[in-house]
Amino acid sequence: MVSFIARVEKEGRVFLPVQVREQINIRSRDLLKFCRVGEYIIVEKKYQTCIFCGQRHDLVEFRSKYLCRGCRSGLLGMVSVPVRKAHLQVAHP
């Protein structure tokens, strides 16, 4: 177990040391999930997932939502309206 002491800044920010960020591969702009369990706060890295199947890899972003290529292909097979590639961005886990 790794432990450290950090001060909460006036704005509510807490600094995570490099060693902690490296251990769980936290990079700038990553999402973190905070869970309160009794008097403890658990912090874990939140991964982008497909809104349909929950897969974390091979994602495409569409209007701030993520779809895996398999679900996207399934949806495209259901519609007859052409999808422009300009609306899709590849997401990086």
Going by C-beta distance under 8 Å and a sequence separation of 6 or more, which residues neighbour residue 25?
Answer: 45
- pLDDT (mean) for 40-61: 88
In terms of residues, how long is the chain?
A: 93
Q: Does residue 63 sit in the same domain as residue 92?
A: yes
Question: Residue 37's pLDDT band (boundaries 50, 70, 90)?
Answer: very high
Check if the beta carbon of residue 72 is closer than 8 Å to that of residue 90: no
Q: Does residue 27 sit in the same domain as residue 55?
A: no
- pLDDT (mean) for 29-54: 89
pTM: 0.52
Q: Does residue 29 sit in the same domain as residue 52?
A: no
Q: Does residue 34 sit in the same domain as residue 61?
A: no
Q: Which domain holds residue 27?
A: 1-46
Q: What are phi and psi of 17, to 5 degrees?
A: -60, 155
Position 9 scores a pLDDT of 94
Residue 60 has pLDDT above 90, yes or no: no
Q: Does residue 42 sit in the same domain as residue 52?
A: no
Q: How many domains does the chain have?
A: 2
> Which of residues 30, 46, 62 is at a domain's end?
46
- pLDDT (mean) for 74-81: 74
